[in-house]
A and B are shown apart, each in its own frame.
Chain A
Amino acid sequence: MNAIAMKRAARDPTLESPSAPVARVDDPAAFRAMVLEHAPHLRRLVRSLGVPEPDLDDVSQEVFIVAHRRLQTFEGRSALRTWLCGIAVRVASDFRAKGYRRREQPTDNPPAEAQNADQELALERKRAWLLIEGLLGELSQEQREVFVLYELGELSMPEVARALECPQPTAYSRLYAAREQIERRMAQLRLTERTP
């Protein structure tokens, strides 16, 4: 496919030449390195966008497949990371829209980290996800995407806006709205905790 992209770029001067990542992905080892580098945060991202745990591998894998296909049209105008985040948001939202679920139920193989990680840490992680997923579930889709990309995704707000293809002021107002909503919810939770 990248051969096509290159041929096309060669005969079509209006197109940008394929940028560096194309070469990187053509090389299996480099592609692997790219996956290893970006998979952790993309996986976190799709999970916090509402993809359930058992589907995470499939969905993250699809993010990379889509990225690989679209690399020929990636113009290097944003950082690879920002661009991948944008794809992850689209794939995750596609996933939810389709209501797609795995057919096999992966119950017999507990995740590797649960086996060796120390129990306390695993528990803390589980609690954290439970809380955050609950909070995020009350946000609108748009607010959730901005919030997750900024608060967990390590992108700057201009990058968030680029990944989501929305104007920067919109991204900021969504972020602030999301924060307000989450703070309100946290305050309620504190209240209910103190009054048993």
Chain B
Amino acid sequence: MKPLVDPPRLMDSADTDPVLRQALRVISKDVPSLPALGALADGAQRAMHANAATKAAASSLGAKVVVATVVGGVIAGVYFALPSGTRPVAQQHVTVVAPRVARSSSAAGAPAPGPPVTAAESRPASPLDVAPTDTAPSRVLEASRAEQAAAPELDAPSTMGQGSTRGPVAHPGSEVSSRPVRTAPDPKAGGPTTPAAREEPRSEERKPAPRPGEVDLLEGAQQSLSGDPRHALELLAEHRRTYPRGKFAQERDVLMLEAFKRLHDTAALREGARAFLGRYPHSPYRLRVDKLLE
């Protein structure tokens, strides 16, 4: 049995094979160039801002949706009533419709852009933002957001919503609809849903973002933890189903325990805590879990 003391590092030890020692030394000093690091820092920040901007756009749209809920709610209802398997059809619909609209707009000459804009602005938001009204679709919504997010798209749900609603509505040859970026809430977040468009410049800064659906679920849970722990628990259960081995599995389990605590479900709390500490005996959250048990 070797002692539990840090041995000299191989690169510092005279006993190390010289070739190996030299290689380790070279590598340990191998630093990427400063410009590369700067780009890395900027890239990380851009990716995080893109994420935040999408969310901000979604919530600002939420206000408009209150007005449009009557119209939008119906459409959202129909949308979510579809079995999940058929949803991608709606998405394909956009890709088919968009070119057709573009062509008809060039044929129709100068259109009246007014009405289609409002239609496109208010309705498409509904599938995404009806959720906060805390009605039944919200869970489905989270699920679908999570599904969407599993593909590395941040804005897929919103553009998908636009497609499914705009399809039947926006065809009167408006040139506005042929430029979906203008009608979208956020020039960054919106955009056509065609596969080609996805690979356009933005993909570079967006791709590295870890699946936002996972984070969205946890943030949603975190926000409703104090007000509506039961809802938080639902979101967390959703997270567990969708991302059983997610990067935030520990965070999720801790939030679950906190929800149990708030619901005064002592039995579930104790059992969950025991399982957690068994699974992650050296978790950085150990202290927090211990505190919950007090």
Contacts and interface: CB of A to CB of B under 8 A. Distances in A.
A150 B4 contact: no
The majority secondary structure among interface residues of chain A is helix
Given A44-B30, A157-B6, A35 B282 contact: no
B18 to A, nearest CB: 10
A90 B258 CA distance: 24
Interface in A132-189: 132, 135, 150-152, 154, 156-157, 161-162, 165-169, 172-173, 175-176, 179, 182-183, 186-187, 189
A74 B254 CA distance: 13
Nearest to A157: B6
Interface residues of B, number: 61
Nearest to A76: B284
A12 interface: yes
B20 A40 contact: no
Interface in A80-107: 83, 90-91, 94, 103
A60 to B, nearest CB: 6
Interface size class of A (residues with CB under 8 A): 35 or more
Given A58-B208, A73-B251, A156-B6, A44 B28 contact: yes
Contact of A35 (B20, B40, B222, B288): B40
A69 B215 CA distance: 8
Contacts of A187: 17
Contacts of A15: 288
Contacts of A168: 4
B48 A65 contact: yes
Given A4-B223, A125-B30, A152-B28, A31 B45 contact: yes
Given A40-B31, A75-B287, A4 B40 contact: no
B111 interface: no
A182 B20 contact: yes
Nearest to A165: B282
Contacts of A150: 6, 9
Interface string A89-131: 0110010000000010000000111000000000011011101
Q: Which of B30, B52, B210, B285 has the most CB of A within 10 A?
A: B30
Nearest to A86: B284
Given A62-B210, A113-B33, A152 B27 contact: yes
A69 B210 contact: yes
Nearest to A148: B27
A125 B222 CA distance: 46
Nearest to B41: A35
Contacts of B38: 32, 36
Given A8-B222, A15-B288, A39-B41, A151 B30 contact: no
Interface in B271-294: 280-285, 287-288, 291-292
B280 A165 contact: yes
Contacts of B282: 161-162, 165-167
B44 interface: yes
Interface string B1-30: 010101101110000010110111011101
Nearest to A112: B33
Contact of B284 (A12, A78, A132): A78
Contacts of A151: 9-11, 24
Contacts of B247: 66, 90-91, 94
Q: Which of A11, A15, A69 has the most CB of B within 10 A?
A: A69
A65 B43 CA distance: 10
A57 B39 contact: yes
B284 A65 contact: no
27 contacts: A4-B223, A11-B226, A31-B41, A31-B44, A39-B41, A40-B31, A40-B37, A44-B28, A57-B40, A57-B43, A61-B47, A64-B44, A66-B247, A70-B251, A113-B32, A125-B26, A128-B23, A129-B30, A132-B24, A135-B20, A150-B9, A165-B284, A167-B281, A168-B4, A169-B4, A173-B2, A186-B20
Interface of A: 1, 4, 8, 11-12, 14-16, 28, 31-32, 35-36, 39-40, 43-44, 48, 56-62, 64-66, 68-70, 73-75, 77-78, 83, 90-91, 94, 103, 111-113, 124-125, 127-129, 131-132, 135, 150-152, 154, 156-157, 161-162, 165-169, 172-173, 175-176, 179, 182-183, 186-187, 189-190
Closest 5 CB pairs of A and B: A35-B41, A128-B23, A128-B26, A64-B44, A32-B41
